[in-house]
Amino acid sequence: GLGMLINRQHVKSSESLLSPEMMKAAARQEASIPAKTPEELQQEELRRLYSTADVLAVPSRKEPFGLVALEAMACGLPVVASNEGGLPEFINSEVGALVPVDNEDMLCGAILEELLRSHEDPRRRAEISRYVKERFTQRLFVIKLEQLYASTLSIPRRLRNH
């Protein structure tokens, strides 16, 4: 998935936040700048990059899972994403916001709201990181997978084929 890291400095003009129209123009301009994919960055560089941002925007039209969003959340970033694919499985109002696909006004509004929430509550980053670590670690995945295998194998063979 593709995401855009957003820092409060990108959206402040003097003491007021930019209008949604100005945010859209800035997003179009930043989108034209070539960027490295997460695969091209080392994990440490990703953590450093996530730590400099205030919000991750993932305005995907199709997103099977959203690993980029989960990685950013593990680093404490709130995520504003499209209500699409696997993203609603782990993004909720505790850790970010979901908006309809292709709704730029709601996307911009949600980004601004998340910037304000994070600014008002400095503990929020730690809470978002804890949310991910309590639910989506590799260890938990292995435990759930083992439980699934065990429950599947315990179903009588005659019932599994129907």
| Residue 116 confidence (pLDDT) | 92
Helix and strand element counts for the chain (H, E): 8, 6
Contact status, residue 56 vs residue 63, Cβ threshold 8 Å: no
| Residue 24 confidence (pLDDT) | 58
Contact status, residue 17 vs residue 106, Cβ threshold 8 Å: no
| Residue 13 confidence (pLDDT) | 36
3-state SS, residue 150: helix
| Residue 15 confidence (pLDDT) | 33
Contact status, residue 91 vs residue 136, Cβ threshold 8 Å: no
| Residue 33 confidence (pLDDT) | 45
pLDDT values of the chain reduced to their tens digit, one per residue, 162 residues: 456 777 765 554 323 344 555 555 555 545 444 456 555 667 778 888 888 899 999 998 888 888 889 999 999 999 999 999 999 999 999 999 999 999 999 999 999 999 999 889 989 999 999 999 999 888 888 888 898 888 888 766 666 555
| Residue 112 confidence (pLDDT) | 94
| Residue 82 confidence (pLDDT) | 94
| Residue 89 confidence (pLDDT) | 92
Beta-strand ranges (E) seen in the chain are: 4-6, 12-13, 16-17, 55-58, 79-82, 96-99
pTM: 0.68
3-state SS, residue 79: strand
